[in-house]
Amino acid sequence: MTGTKKNIMLTPGPTPLPPEVLAALSRPILHHRTEAFGEIFQFVLDAMRRVYMTKNRVLMASASGTGAMESAVVNLLSPGDEALVYSTGAFGDRFAAILKAHGLSPTVISEEWGHAAKADKLAAALKQHQKTKAVFLQQTDTSTGVLNDIKALAAAVRANSDAIVVVDAVSSLAAEEFHMDDWGVDVALTASQKGLMNAPGLAFAAISERAWTLVQSARLPKFYFDWKTYDKSLKARETPYTPAVAMVAAQAEALKLIEKISLKGMWKRTAVLADYTRAWARKNGLELFATDPAHILTGVRLPDGVDGSSMLAEILREEGISIADGQLNLKGKIIRIAHMGYISKPDLDAGFAALEKRLAKVQAA
């Protein structure tokens, strides 16, 4: 019965893996305090610097992207510090929730879902909150497929405040154009399972010298995620605790592929698939959800009367194709088609065919 089923993921993480990456995941496990592992780990950190477009230090922990987000909060801030979150969706709201979980009271400004953050609104908020230590942003909020202009937003922070700029690039890195150093980003966070074409399980943070001075004085409690501990282990090409060694080996393979295609080639590939998906939506009379759409993911509104949740469940059950539902109040109302990482045009075509078949049935009824 499952023989004819495909296994296609059009989801914004996890994403499908290239064969070279899958092969690396099945190789014998290396001990993490060995020369052999150290070499792979060092390559991953160096290649990550090239993907981030930075000369800054890059740290890695075994965790999902939310772990990277929490590590930024606890390593940058102290009790009573002022922080500002500019939320454009569920992941911006998650930053606010993490800050609150650690006893802080962030200022939260937001946009209606689907709309990008505005530099002038951020500037005005910072003028009102002069003591802000850190501003938290998403490059792409995966809940809606919106793209925020990090270059303009970071410039607005620089011009109006001494706050550092923390960017969640979990779903965008290696897929959307990003220049950490040129854009003046202080902390950039990501994870392995999206644009980086690896299995879930690795979290990365690139940290500027400006941000590192905050790290040295930050007093929020932490242990596993203490960046100073990770930094100390770098000299020995190690992590302080046992890392997800198989995932590190796999990440090295994925980064080699990214370098083979080139970073620009990766950005282009994502953009081409985004255009292709938007054209498909238009051809089928479906409205795009985001007014400022990202290339990593297309959010599409479903016609009234279509129950998206049950349609997507049926597509997965009958055809083995995963497509993401809307989140929270968009559940059942939009679908999210990812085109990041190793997702290919044939994968998208299979998803489009499955959707068309079911939408036609609804429209005929």
Binding mask 109-148 for ligand PLP (x = CB under 6 A): -----------------------------x--xx------
According to the binding rule CB under 6 A, does residue 341 interact with ligand PLP?
no
Q: Which residue is nearest to ligand PLP (CB)?
A: 65
Would you call 1 exposed, middle or buried from its count of C-beta atoms within 10 A (0-12, 13-18, 19+)?
exposed
Hey, which residues between 269 and 328 contact ligand PLP (CB under 6 A)?
none
Task: Tell me the two tokens of residue 37.
Answer: 């592992």
Facing residues of 136 across strands?
A: 85, 166
Residue 359 phi/psi, 5-degree rounding, is -65, -35
Q: Measured from the CB atom, is 54 or 143 closer to ligand PLP?
A: 143
Nearest CB to ligand PLP, comparing residues 196 and 354: 196
Query: Minimum distance between the CB of residue 344 and ligand PLP, rounded to whole angstroms?
Result: 20
The least distance separating ligand PLP from the CB of residue 353, rounded to whole angstroms, comes to 26
Structure tokens at 6: 């495909």
245-261 and 35-52 helices cross at what angle (nearest 10)? 40
Q: Report the distance separating Cα 346 and Cα 79, nearest Å.
A: 50
Query: Any idea which residue has 């392995």 for tokens?
Result: 192
Candidates 6, 25, 42, 64: give the one binding ligand PLP (CB under 6 A). Answer: 64
206 binds ligand PLP (CB under 6 A): no
Q: How far is the CB of 12 from ligand PLP (least distance, A)?
A: 6
- Rounded Cα distance between 284 and 140, Å, is 25
Asked if 175 touches ligand PLP (CB under 6 A), the answer is no
- C-alpha to C-alpha distance for 7 and 322, rounded to whole angstroms: 8
Cα separation, 205 vs 73, whole angstroms = 12
Residue 200, phi then psi, degrees to nearest 5: -65, 150
- Measured from the CB atom, the residue of 168 and 226 that comes closer to ligand PLP is 168
How many CB atoms within 10 Å of residue 226? 18
Contact partners, residue 183, CB within 8 Å, separation at least 6:
150, 151, 154, 155
Nearest distance from C-beta of residue 144 to ligand PLP, angstroms: 10
The only residue of 81, 93, 168, 347 in contact with ligand PLP, by rule CB under 6 A? 168
Q: CB nearer to ligand PLP: give 44 or 170.
A: 170
Q: Tell me: does residue 66 bind ligand PLP (CB under 6 A).
A: yes
Among residues 13, 16, 106, 184, the one that binds ligand PLP under rule CB under 6 A: 13
Q: 43-69: b or e for each residue (b if 16 or more CB lie within 10 Å)?
A: bbbebbbebbbbebbbbbbbbbbbbbb
Q: Which of 52, 91, 342, 352 binds ligand PLP (CB under 6 A)?
A: 91
Closest alpha carbon to 240 in 230, 231, 254: 230
Shortest spacing between CB 87 and ligand PLP, in angstroms:
11
- Is residue 65 near ligand PLP by the rule CB under 6 A? yes
Min separation Cβ 324 and ligand PLP, Å: 10
Nearest-approach distance from CB 201 to ligand PLP, in angstroms: 9
Per the structure block, which two tokens stand in for 142?
Answer: 């995966």
Separation CA 62–CA 20 (nearest Å)? 21
146 or 273, CB closer to ligand PLP? 146
CB of residue 217 to ligand PLP, shortest distance in Å: 26
Residue (191 or 311) nearer to ligand PLP, CB = 191
Report DSSP state, residue 324: E
Chain residues in the site for ligand PLP (CB under 6 A): 12-13, 64-66, 91, 138, 141-142, 168, 170-171, 191
